[in-house]
């Protein structure tokens, strides 16, 4: 069951931007309570108290005001240009017999056997659950026991065990979590990916010397052949 929060409000007599600015300097936060079929009520709440409600993620609030007491939700909060301090808040009255569609955190409990015994890793894909519930049965969060979850077995919305009076509005087949093996891809160096470069052949000194001698002998032979091929000149008598 969600924690109960309360705040008191007083009637706001004067309206307008300048008046609101002056009131905020005194620690008062302008507010409006909207009620279906009724005129909105212009109220003032303590700015510090309201800030604490926001920090605690208050959902359903008991609002005590000059016209009575109502269960309300924070419909909208306007902040200053630095997005640090609230400058106006809109409350909306809640009918206690009307189902609300809200979002609550989904927390997985337990260490799956797929992790402890099969070497997998737990991946959670749904961390906020959309539900329908009556105002007085709103849970702070929803817990799901995944200790028995094996590797490669899907844990879906339909597998959740929800508290009494709470209904999920999401697809029953939606994947909430799964234990699976994470494969580490081998990083191939750029040079290797482009193709291996053959190393340059390193020749021994003796082999280099023999090649040089063979090349020199070949050139000499070519010159000798050219000389022998030349015709001899006849001597004049």
Domain edges within the chain: 5-93, 100-180
Model pLDDT, residue 19: 75
User: Do the first three CATH levels of 5-93 and 100-180 match, i.e. the same topology?
Assistant: no
- Structure tokens given for 144: 């799901």
The residue among 56, 29, 53 whose CA lies nearest residue 43 is 29
Is the pTM above the cut of 0.95? no
Q: Rounded to an integer, what distance in angstroms lies between the CA atom of residue 104 and that of residue 124?
A: 15
Q: What is the DSSP string of 48-110?
A: HHHHHHHHTT--EEEEEETTEEEEEEEEEEEE-TTS-SEEEEEEEE--TTS-EEEEEEEEEES
> 5-93, which class in CATH?
mainly beta
pLDDT tens digits for range 47-90: 999 999 988 888 789 999 998 999 998 888 999 888 888 899 99
Instruction: Please tell me the predicted confidence (pLDDT) of residue 160.
Output: 97
Cβ neighbours for 28, distance < 8 A, ≥ 6 positions apart? 44, 45, 46, 47
The predicted structure's pLDDT at residue 232: 54
Closest among 37, 47, 39 to 9, alpha carbons compared: 47
The domain 100-180 belongs to what CATH superfamily? Ribosomal protein L25, C-terminal domain (2.170.120.20)
What pLDDT is attached to residue 81? 84
- What pLDDT shows up at residue 237? 46
Token pair listed for 227: 């000389």
Residues of the chain with pLDDT under 50: 220-227, 229, 237
29/44 Cα distance (integer angstroms): 5
> Nearest CA to 141 among 71, 74, 57, 39?
57
Contact (Cβ atoms closer than 8 angstroms) between residue 96 and residue 136: yes
Nearest to 98 by CA among 132, 54, 65, 49: 132
């Amino acid at each position: 069951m969600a924690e109960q929060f309360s705040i008191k409000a007083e009637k706001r007599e004067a309206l307008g931007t300048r008046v609101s600015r002056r009131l905020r300097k005194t620690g008062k936060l302008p507010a409006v309570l909207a009620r279906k079929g009724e005129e909105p009520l212009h109220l003032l709440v303590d700015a510090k108290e309201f800030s604490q409600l926001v920090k605690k993620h208050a959902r359903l609030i008991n609002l005590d005001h000059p016209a009575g007491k109502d269960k309300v939700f924070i419909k909208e909060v306007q902040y200053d240009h630095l997005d640090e301090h609230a400058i106006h808040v809109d409350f909306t009255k809640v009918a206690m017999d009307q189902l609300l569609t809200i979002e609550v955190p989904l927390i997985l409990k337990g260490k799956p056997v797929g992790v402890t015994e099969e070497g997998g890793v737990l991946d959670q894909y749904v961390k906020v659950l959309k539900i329908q519930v009556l105002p007085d049965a709103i849970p702070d969060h929803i817990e799901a026991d995944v200790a028995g979850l094996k590797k490669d077995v899907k844990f879906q919305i339909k597998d959740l065990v929800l508290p009494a009076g709470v209904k999920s509005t999401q697809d029953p087949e939606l994947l909430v979590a799964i234990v699976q093996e994470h494969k580490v891809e081998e990083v191939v160096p750029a040079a290797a990916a482009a193709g291996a470069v053959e190393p340059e052949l390193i020749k021994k000194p003796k082999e280099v010397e023999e090649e040089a001698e063979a090349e020199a002998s070949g050139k000499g032979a070519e010159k000798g052949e050219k000389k022998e091929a030349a015709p001899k000149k006849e001597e004049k008598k």
